[in-house]
Structure 1
Amino acid sequence: MNADPETPDIWTVDDGSEVICLRRWKGTWDPDDRHANFKSDVVAYGLLDPLETVRGMSRNLDIPVGAIVRYVLARWATGGSGGLLEIGPVMVPRLWEPIAAAEEKDDDEARLQAYHQLRQMISWLKLPLDDPTVYPPQRD
């Protein structure tokens, strides 16, 4: 196995497959670190053993553990772009507009108005999820 000096938790085996060490981390960070919430989550979730669940899924679904872990990592890593595809490149800027306008005003009342505007926009988007009868039945 060859370890990558830039990423010591990843090794490449003879067949070219990569092996990853699932490491617990108990790091520290400054209170004003903009990634503090994520780092806190890494520490908290690091207390759990995800392989307990993955091994059960592997047994029940007859899928190798490595394939499930690869799927979970790929699904998580692409979640942002997947969300963009689901919402769409037109709707994201429309949802962002009230936020940008409120931040430009730098006023709590404007932020509250932006919240109400976003709430209305999202309630309109989720209406067919809450009540599928809003659209007439489609013909085959």
Structure 2
Amino acid sequence: MAGYGLLDPLETLRGMSRNLDVPVGALARYVLARWASGGSGGLLEVGPVMVPRLWEPVAAAEEADSDEERLPAYHQLRQMIAWLKVPLDDPTVYPPQRD
């Protein structure tokens, strides 16, 4: 966080304001609202069923409180995320939809 303190966000917002013809205050409000709601937006995208499924291996490993359990949990979680990424990495895995 300290590194971002060296930047002046108003410089960017002023440039965007000029280019988009939108007031700086409106842009600042939009940016802050997007940032503040990012967690709930992510939950909506992943879904209320998938989040607990992804959390299960982590919770089990943390309850065991051992690195020997954490490594297999990491691999399980990695495999689950890799499965979710398949259509993003290769859009041809699903046949084209008919109109």
TM-score by length of 2: 0.96
**Counterpart residue number, 2:56:** 97
Count the aligned residue pairs: 99
1:111 corresponds to 2:73 = no
Q: Aligned letter for 1:131?
A: D
Give the secondary-structure state (helix, strand or coil) at the position aligned to 2:95.
Answer: coil
Q: Aligned letter for 2:14?
A: R
1:67 corresponds to 2:50 = no
1:121 alignment partner, one of 77, 80, 85: 80
Q: In structure 1, how many angstroms separate the alpha carbons of the residues matched to 2:54 and 2:25? A: 38
- The structure with the largest alpha-carbon Rg is 1
Question: CA-to-partner distance for each residue in 1:65-109, whole Å, 9 max, x for gaps?
Answer: 111100000000001111110100000000000000001111101
Q: Aligned letter for 1:111?
A: R
Q: In structure 1, how many angstroms separate the alpha carbons of the residues matched to 2:82 and 2:60? A: 20
Q: In structure 2, how many angstroms separate the alpha carbons of the residues matched to 1:114 and 1:108? A: 10
Q: In structure 2, how many angstroms separate the alpha carbons of the residues matched to 1:135 and 1:60? A: 40
TM-score by length of 1: 0.69
Gaps in structure 1 of 5+ consecutive residues: 1-40
CA positional deviation for 1:63: 1.0
Gaps in structure 2 of 5+ consecutive residues: none
More strand as a share of residues: 1
Give the secondary-structure state (helix, strand or coil) at the position aligned to 1:136.
Answer: coil
1:51 corresponds to 2:16 = no
Higher relative contact order (CA 8 A, sep 6+): 2
Give the secondary-structure state (helix, strand or coil) at the position aligned to 1:89.
Answer: coil
**Counterpart residue number, 2:97:** 138
Kindly report the root-mean-square deviation, in angstroms, between the aligned alpha carbons of the 2 structures.
0.7
Q: Aligned letter for 2:19?
A: N
Moved over 4 A (4+): none
